[in-house]
Amino acid sequence: MMTDVMEQSGGPTRPKAEQPAVNGSEPAVPLSPTAEAAGPAEARTGTEEPSASARIVQIRERIDEIDHALITLWQERAALSQEVGVTRMASGGTRLVLSREREILERFRVALGADGTQLALLLLRAGRGPL
């Protein structure tokens, strides 16, 4: 779990799921300390040092922008891929073109290594659905 890795590496912690009330009579109790227990800067960035904290906030803003762009592109790619499949099948073609899928897998593998292959598989599935 990503939260566990972050906690082990000294990164910011996120509140874990709360323990459910027993028979509705006891209040829910957090299973681990929440970020609010740390100082305000440390809770947000994992450090109390002001310049490092400010830089982390700045970097995270750019990461959030990139994440937004990736999500938008992912959705656009999936829609286009689905349109290709519908058009191909409506014209009597096959559901999949395996040579095209291999080409995409290879492009991502060359650029990103083994993780690229996994990313390409996810992209392909988003566009065509599971096999």
- The 3-class secondary structure across the chain, one letter per residue, is CHHHHHHHCCCCCCCCCEECCCCCCCCCEECCCCHHHCCHHHHHHCCCCHHHHHHHHHHHHHHHHHHHHHHHHHHHHHHHHHHHHHHHHHCCCCCCCHHHHHHHHHHHHHHHCHHHHHHHHHHHHHHHCCC
Domains in the chain, start-ordered, CATH in brackets? 51-128 (1.20.59.10)
Burial class of residue 33, CB neighbours in 10 A (0-12, 13-18, 19+):
exposed
Q: For 103-122, write each residue's pLDDT tens digit.
A: 999 999 999 999 999 999 99
The pTM assigned to this predicted structure is 0.65
Specify the higher pLDDT residue, 80 or 15.
Answer: 80
Biggest alpha carbon distance in the chain?
Answer: 63
Q: For 71-93, write each residue's pLDDT tens digit.
A: 999 999 999 999 999 999 999 99
CA separation for the pair 2, 59 (Å, rounded) = 19
- Other Cβ atoms less than 10 A from the Cβ of 28: the count is 11
